[in-house]
Amino acid sequence: MKKTVVITGGSSGIGRACAELYATKGFYVVFTGREEERLKHVLQSIEEKGGEADYIVKDAANTDGAKKVIDFAIKKYGTLDVLICNAGVSQRAMFEDVDLDVFEEIMKINLMGTVKYVKFALPYLVKSQGSIVGVSSINGYRGTPGRTAYSASKFAMQGFFESLRLEMKAKGVHVMVINPGYTSTNIRKFALRGDGVVQGESPRDESKMMSAEKVAKYLYYGQTHHRRDVILTLLGKALIFLNKRFPRWMDRTVYRVMKKEDPELFTR
């Protein structure tokens, strides 16, 4: 019997790569996003390769939308086996320049969007003894300047999934958190400035980053092998290790590196 996966934030980047990969593995794929034209392109790509998928235009933070997506997957395919909570938005502004409404919006999308999908999907995942995958970030372990809301949302995701994992242990539901390092996606391009305006460009060289397709392969392997945590890139692993052992040194180092890489951020 074919399995079903629901993926939030599936119109580009890691979400799109996961949707295409899971389709090639024989899954029914239901994916969401806010831009219908992008979703159409993903669906076309999947169908051209013989996969079966559906997209739904929904904002990840919308409560009714989350329920409707899960209900749709169950009504059409009869089962839900994997939930991948990938939708998210980043930030590029110092906290003193961030409107509180913008901070709250980032928390709503990154944290509460995840919580809502898990809440509505959980009864079906318990029944199928399926998997929940949260796409977090190295910023969920190490905060960086200009990312207060983003880091807060990812730290909160880590705590949510850690608690949920223990609650689901006796019910056979697998809970995994994947923490990509720098990945070539649109997340920096669509990062929010302090006033909520999309910055429209990436301050980093995207060509030197891990591809979204490679992240998707790590995610699929981790999910199918019931891994607990997946931390990607040597740099990401080193940052987490050093942050635990030498936090004060890491404070100075991260500040210095970020200031060098994104000097405009520190002059606002």
**Which among 50, 42, 124 has a CA at the least distance from the CA of 80?**
124
The Cα–Cα gap between 156 and 165 comes to 14
Encoding tokens for residue 163?
A: 């608690």
Q: Which of 77, 150, 182, 220 is catalytic?
A: 150
With CA atoms as reference, report the closest residue to 114 among 81, 89, 87, 152: 87
Structure token pair of residue 220 = 């699929």
Identify the residue whose tokens are 């993926």. Answer: 7
150 as an active site residue: the answer is yes
Sheet containing strand 4-7, strands side by side? 52-57, 28-33, 4-7, 82-85, 131-135, 174-179, 229-231
Residues with catalytic function: 150
